[in-house]
Structures are given as structure tokens and as C-alpha cells.
Amino acid sequence: MKAVEVDVIQKIATDLFEAERNATEVDKFVDQYPELDVELGYDIQEALIEKKCKEENTKISGRKLGLTSKAKQEMMGVHEPSYGVLLENMQLNEGEPISIAPLIHPKIEPEIAFIFNKEVKGPSISVTDILDATAYIAPAMEIIDSRYRNFNFTLPDVIADNSSSSRYIFGEKLYKVEDVDLRLMGMVFKKNGEIIATSAGAAVMGHPARAVAWMANKLVERGQTIKPGEIVLSGALSEAFTIEPGDHFSVSFDGIGSLEASFT
Ligand code: OOG
């Protein structure tokens, strides 16, 4: 890696780290750094995660997929998904009111969580390989909070910003993956008692495990794998919804129960 690239990586990672810590927005970086491409975006994401682990005294708990649905890709003007890292200090507990005060402009998404009990190492990982390595699945919600002004970014920018990761929560009751058809599994998402989205697993790249397989095959290009014990959020089944203090969200899936979250 060239010295100038190392400087750019550290500079952008530090700006994103500070933006999150101070709950302030930054402008997307591609305008200032035309060399920012997907690869450099993942280099920055890695530097950011290393910094967060050190300064926040936390560690990696898993990964998340982003931009997996056609609708979301079109909305954001991108043509491929992204992934990000989940850290232990991003996990919330069911039943605890969640304060959005430390966040910039949080949004919430219904997702399916996969919990792995085997290592998954690309390349050539298929849907079957993912299902075979999955110990459990559970309903989940992801709180995303882009550090970019008005969620305005390009694919390399959002990758650098750890794919807008902020917080996550998943159901305490875990389910066996072979007991459901993840593709056809229906989902109802409610805000303050009213239905705001309905969907099915197939909204995530045709099959949620396909999104996870895509990620496993990308990770190996950077010498990384999904590790036993890690959780993977496989991508939103609907658009993301803005969270206001006092909001209550619930997600229900056919066959794997429901999950609730209240915000203050
Ligand atoms: C990027 C991340 C979105 C998903 O599941 O699509 C995401 C963003 O829209 O800020 O996590």
C-alpha cells in the first residue's frame, strides 16, 4: 500500500470515528478523495473497526449485510451489497428502552439473524453451505445511523462508514434453520401498533442465506471468514424507518416469533 493511501485511510477512519463519538455528520468523502473505491472503502472500515475495538474496549461479535434488496440499491443508487462489522458494544437487550440521544439520525430495519457454529470460509460458498453452518436463526432489528449528512453517500463511502452500523438486537428465543423456509418466511413490521411494512425472506437477494454466502465469498478476498459463535444480520427486508423518541417497533416472522423495541 502506498504511503499516501495509508494517510487517507487513517484520516477518513478518524473522521468517521469522531463523527460517531460526537454525533455529528460529515460530508461524503469521494468528492475530496477521488481515489476512494470499494477496496479502499474496506481498508478504511478495517482501520475504523480496529480503532473502535481499542478505544471502546470491545470486540467483534459478527457481521451485517447492507443494501441487499433491489429497492434499497435503487434508492441509494448502488448496484451491489456491502458488509460491515458488528461489535459487542452495539448489541442491545430485548425489553430495555433504547435511548437514541447518542445517535445522529437513526433508522430501523427488520432483519433475520444467523448464528454460526462452524467457520465459513469462501470461495464458492453456497446457500446450502451457509445453512449447514448455521446453528440458529432469530428475528432481529438493526439500527443504522449513517455518519454522512442526510444519509448521502456512494458505495465506497458507506463501506468506509461500516455500512451505517450502529446498534442491533435479536430475539432471545433461537430457532433451527431447518424448521422454516427462509425464502417464503413472511414478515410484518409495525410502528406504534400500525403495520408499516410487509415482506418475505426472498426480499433479501432472493434468499437471506444467499446474501450471507455473497459476503463469505467477499470476505475471503481479504483473508477473512465467518467464525463459529458469530452473528450475521442478513440485510433489511424492507426500507429503513426513521426512529423518534417514544416510538415502539415490533417485527413478527412466520415460524420464528417476534421481537419488540421501544425508544426514548
Ligand atoms: C446502508 C446500510 C443499509 C441494509 O440492510 O440495507 C443496511 C444505509 O442505507 O445506510 O443495513
C-alpha 202/C-alpha 186 separation (Å) is 9
Range of the domain at 208: 3-262
Q: Which residues in the chain come in under a pLDDT of 50?
A: none
CB–CB of 228/134 below 8 Å?
Answer: no
What integer pLDDT is reported at residue 78 of this predicted model? 82
| Distance of CA 144 from the midpoint of ligand 1 (Å) | 7
Distance of CA 41 to the CA centre of its chain: 15
What integer pLDDT is reported at residue 65 of this predicted model? 98
Alpha-carbon Rg for the chain, nearest whole angstrom, is 17
Average pLDDT, the chain: 96
What integer pLDDT is reported at residue 77 of this predicted model? 81
CB of 166 shorter than 6 A to ligand 1: no
pLDDT in tens, 230-241: 999 999 999 999
pLDDT in tens, 145-200: 999 999 999 999 999 999 999 999 999 999 999 989 999 999 999 999 999 999 99
CB of 233 shorter than 6 A to ligand 1: no
User: Total domain count for the chain?
Assistant: 1
* Residue where the block lists cell 470499494: 38
Helix (H) or strand (E) holding 41: helix 38-55
The three cell numbers of residue 239 are 426500507
Contacts of 2 (CB under 8 A, 6+ apart): none
Q: Where are the beta strands (DSSP E) in 23-180?
A: 60-66, 82-87, 107-116, 134-144, 165-170
**Nearest protein Cα to ligand 1, atom 2:** 66
CB of 151 shorter than 6 A to ligand 1: yes
Strands 60-66, 231-233: pairing is parallel
Q: Output the domain CATH number for residue 91.
A: 3.90.850.10
Which residue in 196, 223, 218, 195 sits closest to 205, CA to CA? 218
What is the model's pTM?
A: 0.96
CB of 158 shorter than 6 A to ligand 1: yes
What integer pLDDT is reported at residue 73 of this predicted model? 85
Q: Give a three-class secondary structure readout of 11-28.
A: HHHHHHHHHHHHCCCECC
